[in-house]
Amino acid sequence: MILADEPTAPLDSERTMAVIRILNDMARKFETAIIVVTHDEKIIPTFKRIYHIRDGMPHEEAGEGRGFG
């Protein structure tokens, strides 16, 4: 499992997508999951499953999963 807490917080858009690409490549190579905690809304569509915590309760929604093939 890859755990990433705000992995793109200080980055510009180009470097942000490079980091997401690297994480996705690692997940495929090692056949593992990625758990990302973020406030960076531009990376959210890259994930297949999205969990939001509202009022202390988790809520799941389907993501677009626009990963990097």
- Alpha carbon distance 31, 60 (integer Å): 22
Q: Which residues pair with 57 in a beta bridge?
A: 54
18 burial type by CB count under 10 A (0-12 exposed, 13-18 middle, 19+ buried) = middle
pTM above 0.85, yes or no: no
- Give the model's pLDDT for residue 45: 83
What is the distance between the alpha carbons of residues 14 and 50, in angstroms, rounded to a whole number?
A: 22
How many angstroms separate the CA atoms of 61 and 32, rounded?
Answer: 20
Q: Indicate the domain borders of the chain.
A: 2-62
CB 34 within 8 A of CB 49: no
Q: What is the pLDDT along the chain (69 residues), one digit of tens a residue?
A: 999 999 998 899 899 999 999 998 998 999 998 899 988 888 888 888 888 888 999 888 777 766 554
Domain spanning 2-62, CATH class: alpha beta
